[in-house]
Amino acid sequence: MDVSVIIPVYNNKEEFERSLYFLSKQQVRESLAYEVIVVDDGSTEPIRQIAKKYQSELPNLRYIYLERTPDSNRSRTRNTGIQASTGSKLLFLDCGILVPPNYVESVAGLLEGRPELVLLHYILGLFAEVDENEAEDILGLTPESFEQFCDKMKYTANWEDYRAVSFESVQNDLDQLPAPWVLGWSGALSTSRELVSRTDGFDESFREWGAEDIDFSYQLYRNGGSFQATEHIKTLHLPHEVTHNDENKMRSSLRNKFKIHQKNGDFDTELYPFCADMYYNQLMGKYNRLLTKYFTPTYSESLMNELNTRYLSNEEGRSLLVGSDSHSVIQTLQTTHVFLQNKSIYESYSQTFKDKNIVYALGINTFYEKRFFDVAIMTDYYRMSSLPMLLFMFKELLRISGKLVVIHTEDHHCFESGAGWLTWDQVTPFLRNYGFTFEKVEQSGRHSIMEITSSVSLQRMSTADLLTVYYMSL
Report whether pLDDT(189) > 70: yes
CA distance 123 to 141: 16
Which one of 179-193, 232-246, 248-262, 442-456 scores highest in mean pLDDT? 179-193
Residue 371 pLDDT = 95
Residue 460 pLDDT = 67
Secondary structure of 195-207 in the HEC alphabet?
Answer: HHHCCCCCCCCCC
Report whether pLDDT(361) > 70: yes
CA distance 319 to 330: 12
Residue 468 pLDDT = 65
Residue 403's Cβ-count burial label (10 Å; 0-12, 13-18, 19+) is middle
Flag the least confident range among 294-308, 371-385, 453-467: 453-467
Distance of CA 33 to the CA centre of its chain: 34
pLDDT in tens, 316-330: 899 999 999 999 999
pLDDT in tens, 87-122: 999 999 999 999 999 999 999 999 999 999 999 999
81 phi and psi angles, rounded to 5 deg: -65, -40
Confidence of residue 274 (pLDDT cuts 50, 70, 90): confident
Report whether pLDDT(133) > 90: no
Residue with the larger pLDDT of the pair 212 and 417: 212
Flag the least confident range among 130-139, 275-284, 361-370, 416-425: 416-425
Report whether pLDDT(341) > 50: yes
Confidence of residue 424 (pLDDT cuts 50, 70, 90): confident
Q: Which amino acid is at 256?
A: N
How far is CA 259 from each of CA 162, 205, 210, 216, 252, rounded to the nearest angstrom? Answer: 24, 9, 11, 12, 11
pLDDT in tens, 149-183: 999 888 888 899 999 999 999 999 999 999 999 99
Of the candidates 168, 194, 198, the one whose C-alpha atom is nearest the C-alpha of residue 183 is: 168
Confidence of residue 420 (pLDDT cuts 50, 70, 90): low
Residue 344 pLDDT = 94
Residue with the larger pLDDT of the pair 381 and 134: 381
Residue 417 pLDDT = 46
Residue 248 pLDDT = 78
Report whether pLDDT(136) > 60: yes
Q: Which amino acid is at 23?
A: L
**11 Rama class: left (phi>0) / alpha (psi -120 to 50) / beta:** left
Secondary structure of the chain in the HEC alphabet?
Answer: CCEEEEEEECCCHHHHHHHHHHHHCCCCCCCCCEEEEEEECCCCCCHHHHHHHCCCCCCCEEEEECCCCCCCCHHHHHHHHHHHCCCCEEEEECCCEECCCCHHHHHHHHHCCCCCEEEEEEEECCCCCCCHHHHHHHHCCCCCCHHHHHHHHCCCCCCCCCCHHHHHHCCCEHHHCCCHHHHCCCCEEEEEHHHHHCCCCCCCCCCCCCCHHHHHHHHHHHCCCEEEEEEEEEEEECCCCCCCCHHHHHHHHHHHHHHHHHHHCCHHHHCHHHCCHHHHHHHHHHHHHCCHHHCCCCCCHHHHHHHHHHHCCCCCCCEEEECCCCHHHHHHCCCCEEEECCHHHHHHHHHHCCCCEEEECCCCCCCCCCCCECEEEECHHHHHCCHHHHHHHHHHHHHHECCEEEEECCCCCCHHHCCCCCCHHHHHHHHHCCCEEEEEEEEECCEEEEEEEECHHHHHCCHHHHHHHHHHHC
183 neighbors 126 (Cβ within 8 angstroms): no
Flag the least confident range among 25-34, 235-244, 440-449: 235-244
Residue 474 pLDDT = 45
461 neighbors 247 (Cβ within 8 angstroms): no
Across residues 438-447, what is the average pLDDT? 93
How far is CA 419 from each of CA 154, 295, 386, 415, 416, rounded to the nearest angstrom? Answer: 33, 11, 7, 8, 8
Report whether pLDDT(333) > 50: yes
Question: Taking the model in full, what pTM does it have?
Answer: 0.89
Report whether pLDDT(416) > 70: no
Residue 81's Cβ-count burial label (10 Å; 0-12, 13-18, 19+) is buried
Residue 132 pLDDT = 65
